[in-house]
């Protein structure tokens, strides 16, 4: 009897232990940067069933199935990229290698007004597809508007407004994290502020955010920021201003005006934050060179307009005028990234393409080359138009996040902007290690807990017991971006291990094919 009792006493704690079980992974000897912005410390982390089950100096490797010795390495939460455009590329490369190899474990897509309109269907498709990163999505205003009124250049009628509101509300209930706009794109450019306030109010009712690709990032940037803040104020919604920048040489240095506007708005009580990609070139559709009013109603209409000599002249004069404002003599700053009808254009500037076609070396001929490209369906392009000083000044703002503004890359396809491969590594290498613009702990905070807080990803962005085990382990001395404008298809270096939902995905700097990402839902799903 006595023996039995002793056995029982021994068995009880043992059974408790076996319920908790051995950790799947224990990370030892690393310098832990937990995402709060606090200093690094030596600590160990235990992971089981996708969660962090223990963290601190007291955690031992014990019977862990896998032990990662992170001696000399930084252990941080997986990076959250708040501004991506995954749509259409998820199943082309479900391993999302460009993101994973840059330390990204969660992407927020549906930005710049562009997304799926059936968010429930999209998120369940993401779950069934099984990709290597977690995905949350905004719903894009341009796609809501297109679904109801096409690319029409006019205000919505009350009946159309009702239809747009219904799409918006359903998206939030289905788990969108908020509303995005792309007010330089069609049909966003045709939309007035009250329409956005109306839809953003619905996002606010379901605890979402408003992410804005503003109406202008150049000459009219002040008005554009004010419009984003007005939407925040009137719709009572947190605002994220996307890829915060100053475009065009004539606007360089104006971050001295624009960053204080963000600070002032926060003092007023508007919950506004910003994000940036750490590069001086942007990347978007070549159509952004053209006057908005020529872009309505789709490609056939664009072509028909450009076939009319007076409208073609109007487009060319507009482009030449804007180039002069930039104090440039040629379209050398605009480099085609992907032009479907002729891929020999890819990687060449408009100036170079124009010469290649045997045309005169002047702006008029170059503007004509742009209209030719537009007649044939347009192209994506990289625009070299920002100043390094502005990039750094924006970076020093503490409530600025880092975001790639990129999609999942298919290796060696097109000449995309390098930010899709190297955003985080570039911040950690160039701006933290080499130029000391911000500290390592601060950079990690902006890549992790700040975005998680803003987008309400409640169990991510920090290294905490009970949180999802999204973890990156990197060498702070070695981490670097390899992708360049000339050779974009190159993975970042220095991320030795990446863990997504407790599953080792990068092992010794190699993506091992694990696809453990999940769809993440906004708060409206459970309200």
If the CB atoms of residues 111 and 449 are measured against Zn ion, the closer one turns out to be 111
Find the shortest distance in angstroms from Cβ 289 to Zn ion.
16
If the CB atoms of residues 213 and 496 are measured against Zn ion, the closer one turns out to be 213
Q: DSSP letters along 482-496, please?
A: ---SSS-----B-EE
Cβ-count burial 358-386 (b if 16+ within 10 Å, e if not): eeeeebebbbbbbbebbbeebbbbbbebb
| 246 and 218 Cβ atoms separated by less than 8 Å | yes
Stretch that binds Zn ion, among 113-121, 213-221, 296-304, 492-500 (CB under 5 A): 213-221
Instruction: Using alpha carbons, select from 79, 85, 140, 77 the residue that is nearest to residue 109.
Output: 85
Find the shortest distance in angstroms from Cβ 243 to Zn ion.
6
If the CB atoms of residues 112 and 126 are measured against Zn ion, the closer one turns out to be 112
If the CB atoms of residues 73 and 112 are measured against Zn ion, the closer one turns out to be 112
Find the shortest distance in angstroms from Cβ 200 to Zn ion.
17
DSSP-derived 3-state class of residue 291: coil
If the CB atoms of residues 213 and 305 are measured against Zn ion, the closer one turns out to be 213
Which residues, 6+ apart, have CB-to-CB distance to 92 below 8 Å? 408, 410
Instruction: Kindly write out the interface string for residues 67-106 of this chain, putting x where it contacts Zn ion by CB under 5 A and - elsewhere.
Output: ----------------------------------------
If the CB atoms of residues 76 and 177 are measured against Zn ion, the closer one turns out to be 177
| 284 and 380 Cβ atoms separated by less than 8 Å | yes
Q: How far apart are CA 383 and CA 305, in angstroms?
A: 25
Return the residue of 146, 213, 312, 489 that touches Zn ion, per CB under 5 A: 213
If the CB atoms of residues 73 and 335 are measured against Zn ion, the closer one turns out to be 335
Q: How far apart are CA 335 and CA 349, in angstroms?
A: 4
Stretch that binds Zn ion, among 22-30, 111-119, 260-268, 297-305 (CB under 5 A): 111-119
Q: Is 496 in the site for Zn ion (CB under 5 A)?
A: no
Stretch that binds Zn ion, among 92-100, 150-158, 207-215, 447-455 (CB under 5 A): 207-215
Integer angstrom CA distances of residue 391 from 262, 266, 385: 15, 21, 11
Q: Is 146 in the site for Zn ion (CB under 5 A)?
A: no
Instruction: Using alpha carbons, select from 362, 357, 371 the residue that is nearest to residue 330.
Output: 362
If the CB atoms of residues 141 and 213 are measured against Zn ion, the closer one turns out to be 213
| 64 and 472 Cβ atoms separated by less than 8 Å | no
Find the shortest distance in angstroms from Cβ 219 to Zn ion.
18
Q: Is 112 in the site for Zn ion (CB under 5 A)?
A: yes
Stretch that binds Zn ion, among 68-76, 211-219, 346-354, 358-366 (CB under 5 A): 211-219
Find the shortest distance in angstroms from Cβ 111 to Zn ion.
6
**Which tokens hold the place of 408?**
């999942």
Enumerate the β-bridge partners of residue 519: 135
Integer angstrom CA distances of residue 478 from 29, 153, 434: 18, 51, 11
The 8-class DSSP code of residue 434 comes to I
Question: CA 355, 357, 360: angle at the middle one, nearest 5?
Answer: 50
Find the shortest distance in angstroms from Cβ 405 to Zn ion.
6
Find the shortest distance in angstroms from Cβ 107 to Zn ion.
14
If the CB atoms of residues 213 and 489 are measured against Zn ion, the closer one turns out to be 213
Find the shortest distance in angstroms from Cβ 13 to Zn ion.
56
If the CB atoms of residues 213 and 215 are measured against Zn ion, the closer one turns out to be 213
Find the shortest distance in angstroms from Cβ 242 to Zn ion.
5
Stretch that binds Zn ion, among 109-117, 273-281, 365-373, 435-443 (CB under 5 A): 109-117
Burial of 327 (0-12, 13-18, 19+ CB in 10 A): exposed
Find the shortest distance in angstroms from Cβ 84 to Zn ion.
10
**Which tokens hold the place of 452?**
């998680």
Residues that bind Zn ion (CB under 5 A): 112, 213
């Amino acid at each position: 009897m006595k023996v039995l009792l002793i056995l029982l006493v021994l068995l009880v704690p043992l059974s408790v232990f076996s319920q908790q079980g051995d950790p799947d992974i224990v990370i030892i000897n690393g310098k832990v940067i937990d995402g709060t912005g606090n200093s690094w410390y030596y600590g160990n982390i235990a992971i089981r069933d996708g969660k962090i089950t223990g963290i601190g100096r007291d955690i031992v490797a014990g019977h862990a199935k896998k032990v990662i010795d992170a001696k000399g390495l930084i252990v941080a939460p997986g990076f959250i990229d708040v501004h991506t455009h995954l749509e259409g590329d998820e199943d082309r490369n479900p391993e999302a290698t460009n993101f994973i190899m840059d330390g990204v474990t969660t992407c927020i897509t549906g930005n710049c007004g562009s997304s799926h309109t059936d968010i429930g269907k999209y998120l369940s498709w993401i779950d069934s597809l099984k990709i290597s990163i977690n995905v949350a999505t905004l719903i894009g205003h341009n796609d809501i508007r297109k679904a109801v009124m096409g690319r029409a250049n006019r205000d919505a009628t009350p009946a159309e407004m009702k239809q747009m509101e219904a799409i918006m509300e359903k998206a939030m209930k289905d788990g969108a994290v908020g509303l995005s706009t792309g007010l330089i794109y069609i049909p966003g450019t045709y939309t007035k502020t009250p329409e956005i306030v109306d839809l953003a109010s619905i996002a606010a009712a379901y605890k979402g955010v408003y992410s804005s690709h503003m109406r202008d990032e150049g000459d009219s940037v002040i008005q554009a920021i004010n419009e984003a803040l007005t939407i925040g104020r009137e719709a009572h919604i947190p605002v994220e201003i996307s890829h915060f920048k100053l475009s065009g040489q004539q606007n360089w240095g104006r971050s001295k005006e624009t960053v204080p506007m963000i600070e002032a708005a926060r003092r007023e009580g508007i919950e506004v934050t910003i994000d940036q990609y750490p590069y001086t070139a942007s990347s978007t559709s070549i159509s952004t060179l053209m006057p908005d009013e020529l872009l309505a109603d789709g490609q056939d209409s664009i072509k028909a307009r450009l076939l009319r000599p007076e409208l073609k002249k109007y487009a060319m004069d507009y482009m030449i005028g804007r180039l002069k404002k930039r104090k440039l003599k040629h379209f050398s700053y605009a480099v085609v990234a992907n032009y479907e009808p002729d891929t020999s254009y890819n990687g060449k500037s408009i100036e170079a393409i124009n010469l290649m076609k045997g045309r005169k070396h002047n702006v008029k001929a170059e503007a004509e080359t742009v209209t030719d490209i537009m007649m044939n369906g347009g192209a994506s392009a990289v625009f070299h138009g920002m100043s390094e000083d502005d990039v750094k000044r924006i970076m020093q703002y503490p409530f600025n996040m880092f975001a790639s503004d990129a999609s999942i890359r298919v290796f060696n396809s097109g000449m995309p902007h390098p930010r899709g491969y190297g955003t985080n590594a570039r911040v950690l290498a160039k701006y933290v290690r080499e130029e000391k613009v911000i500290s390592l702990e601060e950079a990690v905070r902006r890549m992790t807990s700040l975005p998680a807080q803003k987008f309400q990803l409640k169990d991510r962005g920090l290294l905490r017991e009970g949180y999802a085990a999204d973890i990156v382990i990197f060498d702070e001395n070695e981490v670097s971006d390899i992708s360049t404008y000339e050779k974009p298809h190159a993975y970042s270096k220095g991320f030795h291990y990446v863990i997504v939902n407790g599953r080792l995905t990068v092992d010794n700097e190699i993506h091992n094919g694990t696809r453990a990402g999940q769809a993440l839902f906004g708060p409206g799903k459970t309200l």
